[in-house]
Chain A
Amino acid sequence: MLPPVEVPTLVTRLIREDWGRILSSLVSSIGDYGLAEDSLQDAVVSALEEWPRKGVPRHPDAWMITVARRKALDRIRRNQTAMRKSGELTLWLEQHRNDPEDRPMMIPDHRLEMIYTCCHPALEEKSRVALTLRALGGLTTAEIAGAFLDKTETMAARLTRAKKKLRAAGIAFKLPEPEDLHDRTDAVLRVIYLIFTEGHWSSDGQMSRTDLVNEAIRLGRILTGLLPDHAEAKGLLALMLLGDSRRLARKGDDGAFLPLEAQNRARWDRAKIREGGALVETALSMGPAGPYAIQAAISALHANAASFTATDWPQIVALYEVLAQRQPNPIVRINQAAALSYAKGPQAGLSLLDTLCVDDKLNGYQPYHACRADLLARLGRRQDAAASYRTAISLAVAPEDKAFLSNRLRALTAP
């Protein structure tokens, strides 16, 4: 037994770091997502009860697996007809119910099977993302709801529906057939990128959730290894590495958010920039560039610029144009407007913003107002800029965002 540790903290850490690995391994042996997850949750409850009394086991992950198998057996026995589990599984669980909890266990990594199962096209896309965040990231239902700006109860119902369909429709826990792998990968890439962005700009107000970012990058690496000829898998991994390379520079010593122009470029992670840059080049050489590869190429131009002013803005504007053609999307245009303002001046950027159709959705989108405010301020239209900053501040969720925008507003209105 290890010396006493703060048990809830330890359990939380275990869930964050090992949930996906433990759960996917359980699903692989039990063959039923719902049963595996319920049993693992039972095991977590047991850990919270037992560890403070008996001490933390030497191998918490092995303990979780063994106890979860025992709980699965209990659940099958309690609910024999509803579960309709084969005798074979019951026998298997019987044999493994007394696996020692205190020795290291080879826990095979089935996370890739898990991600393709969670991203099965027979599930609604939103459910795919939610299920993957739950199954692989170990996010709580409330956290997933936050990522979608949904109510927790709505998200809970969605997850329940998705899990029910996995079982009742007979969606197998396996990798797709080779001929389906590429099609199914598009859905997987979208899900991985959402996990990354959730970690990057966490909706719970935390600036950065490195565990999610790392999980997304790790999943991206596994995918590119599995699909060496999939350009967009490389493009996505590059995009995430390049984005993450600036993580340490994004906050000042006082914890405040620093925009690109104020970042200390010496703090950028050169290893990630090199790896990301090489991946973009390969991805672009493999054929017509997809949206992830284009975004990664933009990120690489930023990463390799000696200074903010030395950035190749015209090239970035051109890449945004290609991206906007592929993905007609106002958010792409907002970013293009910002780049255009450095290539050709703030008025050019503002003119582009003015061509956008501002509906309710865009009107509630904080970066739109922040971009507008910046362009107006640079044009010397201080009153209009201040109004836009105030709107942006009212829409900001993360405290760092609020603080950054408020500072800008103060600088603008200072005598």
Chain B
Amino acid sequence: MQYMCLIYAQEGKEPQPGTDEFGPFMQGYMDFTQRMKESGKLVSGDALQPTATSTTVSVRGGKAETVDGPFAETKEQLGGYYLLDCEDLDDALKCAEQIPSAAFGRVEVRPVVIWD
């Protein structure tokens, strides 16, 4: 069984780069990742770009609607995810439109942080 741990935190409230707290905070993540790896539990993990970079797609009457911003949860709950490697946002949105649930709910497309 696999579990996807979606990490919710208020943006900007966590330690920011350049502060004294940032180093230990990031070290904590690296240590946790390492522990999960060693225990054989880690499948994949990524950080997402902030919600300001998010775009949400829905398909209604066969027509795709694209709006700026993250999906605001209402009755719909997160039910799964795809991690896709796409050319650019348009490419990703085109793929997201084809996810069957886009016609009923919404699909939030958020770029993943690439660590150097």
Contacts and interface: CB of A to CB of B under 8 A. Distances in A.
A124 B88 contact: no
Contacts of A172: 87-90
Nearest to B116: A81
Interface in A156-172: 161, 164-165, 168-172
Interface stretch (B2-10, B27-35, B47-55): B47-55
A171 B52 CA distance: 13
B68 A164 contact: no
B87 A169 contact: no
A172 B89 CA distance: 7
A170 B52 contact: no
B116 A170 contact: no
A177 interface: yes
A164 B53 contact: yes
A171 B68 CA distance: 12
Contacts of A81: 116
Given A122-B55, A164-B52, A177-B90, A169 B111 contact: yes
Contacts of A164: 52-53
A170 B94 CA distance: 14
A205 interface: no
A170 B88 contact: yes
Contact of A84 (B68, B87, B94, B116): B116
B: contact size bracket:
20 to 34
B102 interface: no
A176 interface: yes
Majority SS of interface residues in chain A? loop
A121 interface: yes
A168 B88 contact: no
Given A122-B93, A168-B111, A169-B111, A161 B52 contact: yes
A123 interface: yes
Interface string B97-116: 00000000000000100101
Contacts of B111: 168-170
Given A161-B52, A168-B53, A169-B53, A122 B89 contact: yes
Interface in A55-76: none
A168 B50 CA distance: 9
B67 interface: yes
Contacts of B49: 168-169
B68 A123 contact: yes
Nearest to A180: B90
A176 B90 CA distance: 8
B22 to A, nearest CB: 14
Residue from the set A124, A127, A168 with the largest chain B CB neighbour count within 10 Å: A168
Contacts of A127: 68
- The interface centre, meaning the residue of B52, B89, B93, B111 with most chain A CB atoms within 10 A of its CB, is B89
Given A84-B114, A84-B116, A177-B90, A169 B54 contact: yes
Contacts of A169: 49, 53-55, 89, 111
A176 B105 CA distance: 25
A161 B89 CA distance: 17
Nearest to A171: B89
A190 to B, nearest CB: 15
A81 B55 CA distance: 26
B114 A170 contact: no
Contacts of A165: 52-53, 68
A177 B91 CA distance: 10
B68 A124 contact: yes
A381 to B, nearest CB: 48
B108 to A, nearest CB: 12
Contacts of B86: 170
B116 to A, nearest CB: 6
A170 B89 contact: yes
B67 A121 contact: yes
30 contacts: A84-B114, A120-B89, A121-B67, A122-B66, A122-B68, A122-B89, A122-B93, A124-B68, A161-B52, A164-B53, A165-B52, A165-B53, A168-B49, A168-B111, A169-B49, A169-B53, A169-B111, A170-B86, A170-B88, A170-B92, A170-B111, A171-B88, A171-B89, A171-B90, A172-B87, A172-B89, A172-B90, A174-B88, A174-B90, A177-B90
Interface of B: 49-50, 52-55, 66-69, 86-90, 92-94, 111, 114, 116
CB-based closest 9 A-B pairs: A172-B88, A121-B66, A122-B55, A168-B53, A169-B53, A124-B68, A170-B89, A170-B88, A168-B49
Given A122-B66, A169-B49, A169-B89, 11 more contacts: A84-B116, A121-B68, A122-B93, A165-B52, A165-B53, A169-B111, A170-B88, A174-B88, A176-B90, A177-B94, A180-B90
